[in-house]
């Protein structure tokens, strides 16, 4: 059976050029912190990749800190800002990836939630009201693009509100980098997380982007790596692969309109069959589609599509074996029963017309079978 991979927001397939670059980098000796020739060569490969990351997201010079991925970058930003007392409170939007509130809760600081509107965008008026009450520095966490709906958030507008109130902004850009133009400076971010495996890079490598002179205490200690900001021997092959993925990201950006057309075709087929598309009225990532279908649970949809050779993602997360409705859909006003019927379909750099055709053919047929069985 031909497989159709429509789960790029979970992990996008690694680009062949990245695989080759990682394999080639593994053939060389040398620790990037060593001063001998081999070590200097490894360091040069790391710094070459750092410059490629910097150019892709317009990061400041010396503003790219390599991490093991997006989750570590989130942990570092929140805990690093909290450790030195630079911020006294954390605001978190209700549509953030679970890693953000989970890490905010372990900083020891008070955490408050900023609501979202029914269209999936953060409520800027609520943010403005909350920020105006703060008399000490705070950190506001807002993703650039939602991992479930794809809704692109008004980060620049939020940053202006926060900075006017004396706060800092952390942007989780994991889903955005390599899919839409992402400019750290123009966003007004203070801290920004990214990860390689969302746009064709290796799993297990990412970066935290920081501005100069920002308060950020290291949370991993034990060496002088990353200019004393993140201890641990560099994973040189993975970092090299991330750099190559950043070089190739322009190809995905050029395909954005084509990918959005495929998404819209799948959305039209699903809606015609009785589904609801969430976040469709705002700007979204070109390849992200979030659907709910009454009476057709996310788990059932996932299994039906898997049997049909199509990989998608259930809109609910599992914890201790119990399905929970999507907190993102809940924040948008979706009731619990419908939220349990949510799925995410996501395309990326390797997606094809055949992938969209398969979904347009198989998903409506599966939903029709589900409704017939329930009748």
E strand or H helix at 110? none
Chain CA centroid to CA 231, Å: 24
The size of the chain, in residues, is 375
Chain CA centroid to CA 273, Å: 29
Catalytic site residue 360? Answer: no
Q: How many CB atoms lie within 10 A of CB 94?
A: 17
Which residues fall within 8 angstroms of residue 219, CB to CB, at 6 or more apart?
A: 75, 76, 79, 80, 83, 230
**How far is it, in rounded angstroms, from Cα 148 to Cα 6?**
13
Task: Show the tokens assigned to 125.
Answer: 């008026």
**How far is it, in rounded angstroms, from Cα 315 to Cα 331?**
13
Q: For residues 3 and 309, is the Cβ–Cβ distance under 8 A?
A: yes
Find the catalytic residue in 141, 290, 318, 360.
318
Task: Name the 3-class secondary structure at 168.
Answer: strand
Residues serving a catalytic function are 318
């Amino acid at each position: 059976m031909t497989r159709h991979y429509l789960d790029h927001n979970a992990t996008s397939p690694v680009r062949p050029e990245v695989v080759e670059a990682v394999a080639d980098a593994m053939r060389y000796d040398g620790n990037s912190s060593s001063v001998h020739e081999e070590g200097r060569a490894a360091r040069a490969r790391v710094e070459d990749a750092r410059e490629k990351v910097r150019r892709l997201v317009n990061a400041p010079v010396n503003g790219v800190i390599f991490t093991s991925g997006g989750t570590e970058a989130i942990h570092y930003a929140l805990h690093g800002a909290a450790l030195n007392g630079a911020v006294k409170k954390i605001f978190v939007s209700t549509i953030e990836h679970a890693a953000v509130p989970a890490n905010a809760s372990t900083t020891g600081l008070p955490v408050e939630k900023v609501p979202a509107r029914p269209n999936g965008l953060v409520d800027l008026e609520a943010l403005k009201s909350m920020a105006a009450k703060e008399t000490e520095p705070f950190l506001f966490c807002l993703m650039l693009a939602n991992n479930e709906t794809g809704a692109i958030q008004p980060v620049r507008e939020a940053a202006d509100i926060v900075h006017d109130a004396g706060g800092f902004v952390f942007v989780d850009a994991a889903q955005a980098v390599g899919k839409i133009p992402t400019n750290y400076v123009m966003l007004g971010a203070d801290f920004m997380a990214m990860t390689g495996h969302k746009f064709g890079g290796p799993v297990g490598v990412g970066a935290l982007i920081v501005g100069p002179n920002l308060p950020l205490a290291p949370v991993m200690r034990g060496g002088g790596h990353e200019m004393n900001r993140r201890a641990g021997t560099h994973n040189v092959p993975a970092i090299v692969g991330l750099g190559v993925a950043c070089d190739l990201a322009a190809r995905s950006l050029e395909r954005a309109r084509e990918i959005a057309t495929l998404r819209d075709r799948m959305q039209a087929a699903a809606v015609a069959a009785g589904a609801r598309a969430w976040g469709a009225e705002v700007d979204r990532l070109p390849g992200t589609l979030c659907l709910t279908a009454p009476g057709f649970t996310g788990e059932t949809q996932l299994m039906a599509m898997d049997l049909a050779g199509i990989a998608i993602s259930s809109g609910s997360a599992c914890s201790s074996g119990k399905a929970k409705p999507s907190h993102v859909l809940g924040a948008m006003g979706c009731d619990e029963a419908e939220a349990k019927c949510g799925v995410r379909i996501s395309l990326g750099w390797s997606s094809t017309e055949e992938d969209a055709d398969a979904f347009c053919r198989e998903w409506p047929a599966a939903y029709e079978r589900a409704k017939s069985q329930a009748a």
